[in-house]
Structure 1
């Protein structure tokens, strides 16, 4: 699938909003997320996280790393 494909864009936006929502619900900043990711061996700084999450085109592995780092156990997908 091409990055410009409307379906791809839709799901990237959903993934971005899902991650941002989980961070907001927990009151976690990008700097705090960077610290939590570092604790599990993922090295990102807050600026890189801001850019990566804002684009929304991150991998499923990155999404799972972030969710694991913030101890998210349940997700609302709607």
Structure 2
């Protein structure tokens, strides 16, 4: 079984959903803010770029983007 880079996988899932929803980082920061999650655009970009975020943060982002279903390979 191949070794999976889970940070890269999570980053890819988040970026793919942003693309699918047509959302920029600024849009996501606004959506997160409306949901009560304070995040700067620069900090969000860094988190996503590094893939260093918690599962809870991933779910906050998906919820803020209005993602109702998620299909994983």
With the length of structure 1 as denominator, give the TM-score of the two structures.
0.86
**Structure 2 partner of 1:47:** 42
Alignment gaps of 5+ in structure 2: none
Pick from 54, 61, 64: which aligns with 1:69?
64
Pick from 17, 22, 25: which aligns with 2:17?
22
**Structure 2 partner of 1:3:** none
Query: Looking at both structures, which has the greater relative contact order when contacts are Cα pairs under 8 Å and sequence separation is at least 6?
Result: 2
Q: How many correspondences in the alignment?
A: 71
Distance 2:12 2:42 in 1: 18
CA RMSD of aligned residues (A): 1.1
Distance 1:37 1:57 in 2: 17
Alignment gaps of 5+ in structure 1: 1-6
Which structure 1 residue ranges, 4+ long, deviate > 6 Å from structure 2?
none
Distance 1:40 1:46 in 2: 15
**Structure 2 partner of 1:57:** 52
SS at match of 2:5: helix
